[in-house]
Amino acid sequence: MTRSRRRLVALAAATTLALTGATAGPARAEVPPDAPEQLRNGDFSAGVSPWFSYGTGELGVIDGRLCTSVAAGTANPWDAGIGQDAVPLIAGAEYELSFDVSATPGAPLKAVLQLGSAPYTTYASVDATATGAAKHVTTTFTAPADNAGAQLIFQIGGSAQAQTFCLDNVSLRGGEAAPPYEPDTGPRVRVNQVGYLPGGPKHATVVTEATEALPWQLKSAAGTVVASGRTTPRGVDDASAQNVQTVDFSAYRTPGTGYTLTVDGETSHPFDISGTLYDRLRADSLQFFYAQRSGIAIDGDLIGDEYARPAGHLDVAPNKGDTNVPCQPGVCDYKLDVRGGWYDAGDHGKYVVNGGIATYQLLNTFERTKTAETADGGAALGDATLRVPERGNDVPDVLDEARWELDFLLRMQVPAGKPLAGMVHHKIHDQNWTGLPLAPQDDPQVRELHPPSTAATLNLAAVAAQCARLFAPYDAAFATRCGTAAKTAYAAAKAHPAIYASASDGTGGGAYEDNNVTDEFYWAAAELWLSTGDKAYLADVTGSPLHTADVFTPNGAFGWQSVAALGRLDLATVPNTLPAAEKTRIRASVTAAADRYLATIGDQAYGLPFPGTADAYVWGSNSNLVNNAIVLATAFDLSRDAKYRDGAVQSADYLFGRNALNMSYVTGWGEQNAHNQHSRIFGHQLNPDLPTPPAGSLAGGPNAALQDPYAANLLAGCAPMSCYVDDINSYSTNEVAINWNSALAWLASFLADQGDAAAVPAPTCAVTYTTHGSWPSGFTTQVTVRNTGTSAVNGWSLRWAFTADQKVSQSWSAQVDQTGATVTAKNLPWNAKLAPGASTTFGLNGTGSGAPNPNPTLITLNGKACTVS
């Protein structure tokens, strides 16, 4: 957040120190007085943005000057600094750098214009000595190279005494005024460049000056017109500021490749119509997490040679972590082994609250397969379906990937016997910010644990509770470890309900502050109750005001700072023992939210499930859109109403090109796709020897606030949907992040499950599932299946999934087998045929550890869902 303060006192009687012949070039004639200014907010009248600092205290504007403190005894001048990124330089152009500086009690400093990443090539520099009296410093130079994103750094470290530095009137004049930025948006016909499902919605948007309906033609790859019609004028779209019309060609359902849409003399990018469009996206979007792993060598045979690298942050020089990491000074007296986990985003930090929601979404992607008819029992997410090193261990690969982060999250818990035992450290990252690019194994920074927080503690409680039930059939010891940690964390959070991460703790990594944790308490209590059945957790769920509140907001149903909807979604979908009326109310709240998102889709000319206002286009807007689509998808899983499925499918169109910029925001997907996302690891734009982000990486997306200097300099005045640039320097519009890709992975899995998106058939079977006896270590269940269709069933196979570690130990009147949590019951020779209206009954005995044993909500007969009672 930036803070603006009106300038109160001007710097007076400044001493002038003129220097010519800066290190990058010979002295030049005076730069013309009308030369364009290349720095932003050099008088600090707009607060501190876009200035940053490292190795210093917090930046602040005092009496109109930008001031900060530097502790005594920093070893080198470059150990502390104040800077601005995205400074444009033109080779051969003349520039004048000037500034006013003071320091108390006084110290040398150096201003350096440089390449903002290794090898940090210096373009120009000037040395000065700052004292208590403000001094004016100026130098002229000729730029030796072109660089649209140079960095200005004031190096203010290296003093034996503590210092307070203040800057004002910082200016870099010269070169040329930046031309207006005009993105290459390609054809004015905007489509989903990946394609459309045969039975799903098929919409496109045309940017045009025309106000009357226009003819359109859908053409095959051979150029044959296969469908035609007229557009629907929509007027000026608020989000894009474009006059647009809509094309609806949903009636055309023939699969094929290389289709194009022609309207108003423009032809779209090619696209396919296929029921297998998104099969590979499921794997690609999940592969991102392997590429982001910390503490393990990345195997090029699994992900591609260009992504192979040594393990990062295992205390192998120059790394200084993560196996024995100290706390920030004054935070704790111990060190922790916090190896592993995923690098959070474009930096090398690891943050529990962001890791929490990302882990939840991977776990939930798997848990959905137990309750969603279209998920085919999780076959596409089973063992050996992903390119991960754990494949072949009889554990679903998506759970293996989630476990890499779960192990890290568990390591972040404060040990027993220490102050705040059971709480969880909020984050661990470098002591100072590092530049772009930087491979994890080359990071030389000291790593530090940051203070525990209630939000982080409840994140662990929630996802560890999920872990306890989902891993129970595969690794009982790990499931028990997760369950114990979840209960310990929740108790610690209740004992310390208001320990918040500081918004100012943002040096070297993001702050991830959150001063309202009522939603985290609700989510954690819900997950713990679903996993344990403990009435105390249920009391906390039902006692929360959020339990009956509308927790689904228009601009983003949920995010790392707003997680109540996660608890609501799981209470609606995970089998449980809530009263029937309460289940109905909770599920109705999901479909009501989905109805609102459908109405928004209809209102938006580009078909998005969030509003067209600037406040919807925020940092990570693409993940907010996807999370709203997840609510739509969940409503479909609950109701089997195709309108919700169609809403989720249509929402994906925006991600893959049906947007103002005609840009697919997923690397490797679509004709024109983002591939220069902000990342220290995937720095190809800055170093051709490095790779781009792997296919399936989601960019953050348009951000109307323009919260990085590169975007602010380039996109000033942009319409909200156009506030994006595919450049590695734009971290506020183009970063990658685990919680954005986890949302994409969930949606990609749902989309892949829809196949042709054909009409949803009415059930033709009914199952009565009755548990007649239950005791701490076992149960007896009777199942009756009835054919409610009009055709005979000759050979049947029922399938359902248990919620935790229940195992079938004996069965009768059916052949019953179990893999993991999934149970398959097949007919015996004598009861194979079910005439219309006929039924058959079988039974089973089972064992369990005492976890809840609710009736399954999804039972399929030969792959088709039955009504269950």
**Catalytic annotation, residues:** 347, 678, 726, 735
Distance separating alpha carbons of residues 240 and 720, to the nearest angstrom: 6
Query: What are the residue ranges of helices labelled H in 83-222?
Result: none
Distance separating alpha carbons of residues 258 and 260, to the nearest angstrom: 7
Q: Which two tokens stand for residue 701?
A: 């997306």
Local structure of 376: helix, strand or coil: helix
Q: Which two tokens stand for residue 324?
A: 């024995």
Question: What one-letter code names the amino acid at 684?
Answer: H
> Running DSSP on this structure, what letter comes out for residue 698?
B
In order, the DSSP letters of 18-64 are EEES-TTS---PPPPTTPPB-SSSTT-TT-STT-EEESSS--EEETT
φ, ψ (nearest 5 deg) of residue 379? -60, -35
**Which residues share a beta bridge with 531?**
none
What residues contact residue 484 under an 8 Å CB cut-off, 6+ apart?
Answer: none
Scanning the structure block, which residue is given the tokens 């943005």? 49
Going by C-alpha positions, the residue among 238, 234, 257 that lies closest to residue 246 is 234
Strand segments (E) across 121-162: 122-130, 135-142, 147-155
Q: In what order do the strands lie in the sheet with 242-248?
A: 189-190, 203-207, 242-248, 232-237
Going by C-alpha positions, the residue among 245, 231, 226 that lies closest to residue 188 is 245
Whether the link from the prior residue into 32 is cis, omega within 30° of 0, is no
φ, ψ (nearest 5 deg) of residue 255? -60, 150
Answer yes or no: are the C-beta atoms of 311 and 442 closer than 8 Å. no
User: Strand 135-142 vs strand 65-70: parallel, antiparallel, or unpaired?
Assistant: unpaired
φ, ψ (nearest 5 deg) of residue 166? -135, 135
- Angle, helices 518-532/454-470, rounded to nearest 10 degrees: 20
Q: Which two tokens stand for residue 777?
A: 């270590």
Q: Which two tokens stand for residue 388?
A: 């991960």
Distance separating alpha carbons of residues 156 and 103, to the nearest angstrom: 10
Alpha-carbon distance values, 602 to 294, 609, 812 (Å)? 42, 8, 52
Answer yes or no: are the C-beta atoms of 358 and 347 closer than 8 Å. no
Local structure of 113: helix, strand or coil: strand
> Running DSSP on this structure, what letter comes out for residue 790?
S
Q: Which two tokens stand for residue 71?
A: 């502790």
CA dihedral 805, 810, 815, 818 (to 10 degrees): 20
Query: What are the residue ranges of helices labelled H in 115-207?
Result: none
Scanning the structure block, which residue is given the tokens 């309900």? 497
b/e code 267-299 from CB counts within 10 Å (16+ = b): ebbbbbbbbebbbbbbbbbbbbbbbbbbbbebb
In order, the DSSP letters of 197-232 are -TTS--EEEEE-S--S--EEEEE-TTS-EEEEEE-E
Query: What are the residue ranges of helices labelled H in 533-667?
Result: 535-543, 564-573, 580-603, 621-639, 642-655
Answer yes or no: are the C-beta atoms of 55 and 79 closer than 8 Å. yes
Distance separating alpha carbons of residues 451 and 428, to the nearest angstrom: 9
Distance separating alpha carbons of residues 732 and 714, to the nearest angstrom: 13
